[in-house]
Amino acid sequence: MKSIRTIQDGREALWRITEADRENLFRLLFHRYPDNEWGTFFRFGFRRTRWGILITWVDAMKPESGDLDRSSPLVEFCPAYIRRALAALESDELAVGVIHSHPQDCAPFASRADDDMDSYFAEEFERFGNGRPYASLIVSRDANRELSFNGRVFDRGAWLPVKNCVVVGEQLSREKARLGYEQFSTTREPAANDKTQERLAQLLGTGTPQRLRNSVIGVVGCSGTGSPAIHLLARAEVGELVLVDPGHFKSSGHQRNHASRHADLSANPAPTKVALASRLVGEVSPTTKVTGFVGDLLDEVVLDELVRCDLILGCTDSNYARAALGDMASHYLVPVLDFAVQMRAENGILREQIGEIGRYGPGLPCPWCRGRISVEGIWYETATDAERQFRAAAAVEAEQRGVDGAQYWGGAPPPELTVGYLTTVVGAMGVGYAQNLLLGSGKLPHNRFQFDLGFSSLGVVADERPARADCACQRSIGWGDQARADRSVSQPCHWTRTTIILDD
C-alpha cells in the first residue's frame, strides 16, 4: 500500500468546469446516495503554469453496464473500463482522470483504497499518455445537500493539491476544496474596515463582500474602459486584479484615464498604463493584490495568470485581443465581458455615442461567430511597419493596373476618437455586470448589445445569434493547451516580450 502526499510548496491545481457539466456529473455521481458511491473516468484539458496546473473539464466517459461493480457500495473499476480509458489517450492530446463520490456525510478525503487506486492509475495513465497528468477528484454531500470536494493531480512526479474549483455558468463561483489535516490554507487579510462594503451587504446579503474578496479579475486594457473598471473593482475590494496593457500613458489619454494625475503628464519617461492603474488600486484598496503585465495577453506568462481569473474584462478595441479572449473563453473556460465604444461627429454634431457590452464563454458565440472581428483587422494590428508599407505599395500598383487594390490594402483604420464620459459609462456598467455574475445577483440583458446615448430609448440593439455550429469555438471547449491548433491568433514574434512589473 502506498500513501500519497500532495506537495506543499505553494503550487496547486485549479479545476474549471461549466455549471451545466457539473450538474450532469453530480446527477451521475450521487445517484446511489445516500449510502453508495459512484464514479467515472473523465477527459480534461490542461495547462502547466507558473503556479501549478490548470485542469479544464471536457466530458465524462460515463460507465456503461459492467464497467463498475454495482454490487459493491464502493467504486471498483473493471478492467474493460480501464482499458477504454487508456485507449482514449490515443485518440487526442487530452488527459484522463477519475472522479468519484463518497457516501453522504463522509468527508471527501482519499481512503487507503483510493491511494492504491490513484497510485496505480497515475503510473498507467502517465505511461500510456506519454507524460500527461492524471487527476483524481472526490466529492460528497451532506444531508443538507451541502457539497464538499477534494482532489489531486499527478504531474511529472508530484501530486498537486486541487485547492479551488471555478464553476462557470450564469453565476461564477469559486469553491474552495475541503482541506485535510496535512494541508493548510492561507487566508487573505480582512479588509481594513468592514464598513466599506456595508451598502453592498445591505443590498445583496452579508456574504457578498467576501465573495468579491475571493475573486480574481483580469483586465486586459488599462485606459478608456479599463481604468474606470479597475477603479470600481478596487472600491469593491476584489481579492486580486491581473492587469495587462503593453502601452505607456500619453497626454491624450488623460481625459479618459481614471488612474493618471496631472503630474504624470510631464513624467519622463512616461509611466506605463499598468503602473498607473496599479498605483490607483493601491491607494483605494491596499488589500487588493495586483499582478501587472506590460505586454501582450497571449504571452505565456500572461496567459498563465489570466486562466486562473474568475472573469476577464476585455477593455481593448482590437480585433487581435478580441480573438484571443474568445479563444480563452472557449478553450480555458474563462468567461469574458468585452467592452467597446464608438463616437462619431459631423460639423460639431454627434452622430454616434455607442457603447457595447458582449459576453464570451464556453458554448456562447465567439467574436468570429458574431462577425465582430476580421482577418484583415488582425493582420493590420499584428503586421510590422515594413509589411504594412509593402502591402500599401502593392495596392497602389494594383490600382495603376486597373485592379481593385483593396485586396492588398484595406487602408489604415481611422483613429479612435472617444471621450471620457462614454468610456466611463461602459466601463462602469461592465463592472456592474461582472459583480452581478460573481454574486449571482443579476444577468446581462443580452449576450451582446449596443446602445447609443443620443437615441430615443437609448437605441438598444441586441445580438442574440447562436454560435455557428461549424466554428472552431464549439469543437474544443475546455481543451486547454490541447486546443492550441484551434487558436485563432498567436503572438507575433516581432512584438516585444512582456515584463512583469508588479507581482506581490
Buried/exposed 185-214: b ≥16 CB within 10 Å, e otherwise: eeeeeebeeeeebeebeeebeeebbbbbbb
Build a one-symbol-per-residue string for 472-491: x at contacts with Zn ion by CB under 5 A, - elsewhere: -x------------------
Q: Supply angle C-alpha 336, 341, 347, rounded to 5.
A: 175
Q: Out of 125, 149, 320, 368, name the contact with Zn ion by CB under 5 A.
A: 368
Give me the least distance between CB of 37 and Zn ion, in Å please. 7
The span of 77-85, 105-113, 229-237, 411-419 binding Zn ion (CB under 5 A) equals: 105-113
C-alpha span between 198 and 223 (Å, rounded) = 29
Binding string, residues 436-475; x marks residues near Zn ion by CB under 5 A: -----------------------------------x-x--
Q: Would you say 294 or 378 has its CB closer to Zn ion?
A: 378
Residues 6+ apart with CB under 8 A from 398: 404, 405, 407, 408
Q: Which of residues 328-367 bind Zn ion (CB under 5 A)?
A: 366
Q: Report if residue 369 touches Zn ion, rule: CB under 5 A.
A: yes
Q: How many residues contact Zn ion, by CB under 5 A?
A: 7
* Shortest Cβ 474–Zn ion spacing (Å): 6
Half-sphere exposure (Cβ direction) of 49: Cα atoms closer than 13 Å: 25
Least separation in angstroms between CB 138 and Zn ion: 6
Closest separation in Å from C-beta 491 to Zn ion: 20
| Residue 114 lies near Zn ion (rule: CB under 5 A) | yes
- 375 DSSP assignment: H
As a whole number of angstroms, the distance between CA 323 and CA 487 comes to: 9
Q: Which is nearer to Zn ion, 392 or 471 (CB)?
A: 471
Cβ closest to Zn ion, residue 111 vs residue 384 = 111
Select 297 or 369, whichever has its Cβ closest to Zn ion.
Answer: 369
Length of the chain, please?
504
Q: How many whole angstroms separate alpha carbon 472 and alpha carbon 408?
A: 27
Q: Residue 192: name the closest of 290, 283, 275, 279 by CA.
A: 283
* Least gap, CB of 410 to Zn ion (angstroms): 23
Q: And the C-alpha cell for 457?
A: 430609448
CA distance 61 to 333: 19
User: What is the Cα–Cα distance from 472 to 478, expressed in whole angstroms?
Assistant: 12
Q: Give the residue with the Cβ less far from Zn ion, 280 or 483.
A: 483
Place of cell 498605483: 279
Nearer to Zn ion, 38 or 293 (CB): 38
Q: Does 42 bind Zn ion (CB under 5 A)?
A: no
Considering beta carbons, is residue 111 or 407 the nearer one to Zn ion?
111
Q: For the CB of residue 334, give the shortest distance to Zn ion in the complex, in Å.
A: 16
Question: Which of positions 373-402 make contact with Zn ion (CB under 5 A)?
Answer: none
User: Which residues of the chain form contacts with Zn ion (CB under 5 A)?
Assistant: 111, 114, 366, 368-369, 471, 473
